[in-house]
């Protein structure tokens, strides 16, 4: 029996304009009325997700920032932050490789480093309000998430392995798309975040659907009973999926949510 539906955002639930298709909100309400909760599991920060899901913010749960922010039933259930030493070492190691460009986030601010940062043209708006730093932020700033842009796609997997070799005792590194590497404190992921949600409600992982497309969804897809991968997803994610659905451009997640609703 399905009791909870969780979904990634970019490349999964969001459309090609990075918006939540309008039909999603009523689906969340209707599923909840049938006893099935909805939880977003995303690399995006909680505040950003709240803006996207404003019409149903009080009717759903959030695993945000790749598991470092967990909000359940309207309250904070877990928050994880980077240690000051981990931030310093991450900065130092990224400086070793000219293809890596580090971005750090606290709850509301974005920090990018040095004048050599090169980001894709379509992401410039994302960083338009960022704060540029030349050294790691001060210890009184709680970093909840890191992202590393690899400006040569062919090196992304190599760099993920190199970063893990250098810092794997303190941080976890997960490829996201073709050019990005997500960074969280060691042991923190979407899977660790969703476990808090399941424990709170007393839900078994076997009764959970998760939609995902990228390697930062891998652990959570391995955890749940209904791992659904996007047709536009990565090879490894599709290999472990119970079902491969359509693309985000086709609103495939919403189609399957409607199928589940009609089966209840």
The model's pLDDT over 54-106, given as tens digits with 9 standing for 90+, comes to 999 999 999 999 999 999 999 999 999 999 999 999 999 999 999 999 999 99
Supply 184's token pair. Answer: 């969280």
Class of domain 4-79+188-263: alpha beta
Supply 74's token pair. Answer: 């309207």
The model carries a pTM of 0.92
Measured in degrees and rounded to the nearest 5, phi and psi for residue 179 equal -130, -5
**How far does CA 71 lie from the centroid of its chain?**
14
Beta strands in 162-240 (DSSP E): 171-176, 180-185, 208-212, 226-230
Q: Other C-beta atoms within 10 Å of 144: how many?
A: 23
CATH of domain 84-185: 3.30.1240.10
- Band the pLDDT of 178: cuts 50, 70, 90: confident
Give the C-alpha separation, 254 to 51, whole Å.
Answer: 19
Q: What is the pLDDT of residues 8-29, one digit of tens each?
A: 999 999 999 999 999 999 999 9
Q: Tokens 């590497």: give the residue.
A: 181
Give the C-alpha separation, 248 to 128, whole Å.
Answer: 26
- Band the pLDDT of 115: cuts 50, 70, 90: low
State how far the alpha carbon of 245 is from the alpha carbons of 61, 210, 219, in Å: 23, 12, 19
Give the C-alpha separation, 63 to 162, whole Å.
Answer: 27
Segments making up each domain of the chain, as ranges: 4-79+188-263, 84-185
């Amino acid at each position: 029996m399905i009791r909870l539906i969780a979904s990634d955002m970019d490349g999964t639930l969001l459309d090609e304009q990075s918006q939540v298709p309008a039909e999603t909100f009523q689906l969340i309400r209707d599923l909840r009325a049938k006893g099935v909760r909805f939880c977003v599991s995303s690399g995006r920060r909680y505040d950003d997700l709240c803006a996207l899901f404003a019409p149903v913010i009080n009717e759903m749960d959030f695993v945000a920032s790749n598991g470092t922010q967990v909000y359940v039933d309207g309250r904070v259930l877990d928050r994880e932050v980077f240690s000051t030493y981990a931030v310093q070492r991450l900065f130092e190691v990224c400086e070793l490789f000219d293809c890596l460009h580090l971005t750090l986030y606290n709850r509301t601010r974005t920090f990018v480093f040095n004048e050599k940062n090169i980001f894709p043209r379509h992401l410039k708006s994302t960083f338009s309000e960022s704060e540029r730093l030349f050294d790691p932020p001060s210890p009184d700033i709680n970093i909840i998430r890191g992202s590393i842009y690899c400006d040569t796609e062919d090196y992304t997997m190599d760099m993920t392995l190199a970063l893990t070799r250098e810092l794997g005792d303190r941080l976890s590194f997960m490829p996201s798309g073709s050019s990005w590497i997500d960074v969280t404190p060691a042991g923190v992921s979407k899977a660790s975040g969703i476990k808090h949600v399941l424990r709170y409600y007393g839900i078994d992982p076997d009764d959970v659907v998760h939609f995902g497309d990228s390697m930062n969804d891998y652990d959570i897809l391995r955890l749940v009973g209904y791992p659904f991968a996007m047709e536009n997803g990565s090879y490894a994610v599709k290999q472990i999926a119970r079902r491969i659905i359509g693309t985000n451009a086709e609103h495939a997640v919403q189609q399957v949510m409607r199928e589940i609703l009609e089966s209840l």
